[in-house]
Every structure is written in C-alpha cells, then in structure tokens.
Amino acid sequence: MKGPWHIGVIGGSGLYEFGELDERQEIPVESSFGEPSGPVTTGLIGDVRFTFLPRHGAGHTIPPSDINYRANIDVLKRCNVTDVLAISAIGSLNEALEPGHFVSVNQFIDQTRGRPSSFFDEGVAAHVSLADPTCERLSSLAASAAAAAGANVHAGGCYVAIEGPQFSTRAESQLYRDFGGHVIGMTAMPEARLAREAELPYALLGMVTDYDSWREGEAGVTAKDVFSTMDANANLARGTVLKLAESLPETRDPSPIDTALDGALATAAAKRDPVLLAKLGAVAGRVLGAT
C-alpha cells in the first residue's frame, strides 16, 4: 500500500546535529533492548518527516563497539520510520575513492566480533535474507541527492566493517583490499543486519575521510585526518538530506524489504518465548501477530 515517507537518519562521526527541521521536537524514546544512543530529533523538511538519531550520542561519547545497535533500530521502528539512511565516515581501500568523495554502499564484509547482531535470541529464531543488504531504491535516491548537493558520488561499493576502535594495521588494510573491499568503517554492522530484521529499507552513504593504511610510503590514517575531513563535509551531508527531501516521490510505493520477515520465523508459535515476544513487539509485531 502506498503511503507517506518517514526517513530515519542515523548520523555518524561529525554529524551530531541536524538542522533545517520544521516542527522540530527532541523526544526520548525507550527501547525494550536497552538504552539507545540518545533521544531522537524529529520534524519536517517540506512535507517529509525525518527522524534523526546520532549513532555515537551527542558529543560522540559512545565508541563503535559500545553502541546499542539493537536499541537504535528498535527506536526508529517505534517512531514509525519507513526507511533508514545511515551517514558514516569511511576509509578508502581504493585509489579512485578519494578523501572528500561520497560512496553509496551496496555490500558488506563483516569483521566485527561480539556485537549482538540479531533481535531474535534464543526463544524465537528467524532467518532473513541479506544477499542484498541495502535498499537499491533508497541508495539511488540518496546518491542522486548527494550529487545534487555538490558531492562527488560513487554508486556502489563493498564496506568492510571492523571492530575498532583502533584503525587497521597495514597488513589488515591490504588484506581487506584483497577481500574485495572498497571502503572500511566500524559501525555499519550489525546496523544493516538489524535494519533488515526490522523490515526497514536501509541505505548507507559513506563520506571518505582517508586512505586507511594500505598506501606504500604514506603515514597511516589518524583520527585527526578523519575528523578534519568530516567537519569539512558536514554541510554536504546536511545538504544531501535536504535534496533527498526534495527528490522523494510524492508517495512511497511498498518495498519488498517491508515484508522481509515473511516466512523467516523458524520457531513454532507454541514454543516461542513470551518474554522475547514482548521485546519484539515493535520490530516484528506485524508477523508475530499474524502467526
């Protein structure tokens, strides 16, 4: 069924605040999966509702491994967002992807460790497809919006997600290039996995800040490099969101991702843990209520 757009924006390093919102409200939203990174800020750009959540918290207080990714996605689902646009700092593993460029990511290699990566714990098992982990429609719209805002944009790229908070060794950086990675970061996983389980179309627009540590004869990436480039590109990122609001179709056609949980539940209804079922109300209530 067609309906209005409501875009959730998860902002990464250097994008902690979000302006240009009419009817702006900051709202704390509780999650059954613990504390999210902070309150959401919601409002209108034109006729489109946007809800913004800073991934690292206000002032960047939460390191990548300590982000409660489940709570963040659960909160956006509770806010009734229809789609999620993640904006992140990334390193480049490819000569053509220069610092200052934007990349619309379409694949991931997950090298993170120990982060809760599913809403479906023991008691309710589910298996969603993640072959194509980003939403082609939203990714294309976001890439076009970034270009319209003045960014140099690359459509498509494989993101290697590492645990951090340290940057890669030179050997690791070269290995990730050999894997087929194009860019590298610390936060897209399990964020993208969880968005799919929550039936939220997800796009990731990465802002290249550095060349990681694979280039011979050059110093490796430093946090100073990353934050300097992010600060320079923050206005481009905000401009991208404004252009996205302008370019969205008047109404939102359904996406196949809206029903990603259809057929994914493996646990028989009589065997499902009632405590976990209660926690899953926002994320999976559509299918849990129907089975």
DSSP string covering 35-65: --SS-EEEEEETTEEEEEEETTTTTT-S-GG
What gap in Å lies between CA 142 and CA 147, rounded to an integer? 9
Two tokens, residue 144: 């076009």
Residue 253 annotated as catalytic:
no
What gap in Å lies between CA 76 and CA 257, rounded to an integer? 16
Two tokens, residue 76: 């956006």
Residue 258 annotated as catalytic:
no
Two tokens, residue 231: 């600060």
What gap in Å lies between CA 145 and CA 150, rounded to an integer? 9
Nearest CA to 241 among 48, 78, 75? 48
Please pick, among 74, 83, 110, 210, the residue that the annotation labels catalytic.
210
Please pick, among 74, 121, 212, 258, the residue that the annotation labels catalytic.
212
What are phi and psi for residue 244, nearest 5 degrees? -60, -45
Q: What is residue 285's three-state secondary structure?
A: helix
Residues identified as active-site = 210, 212
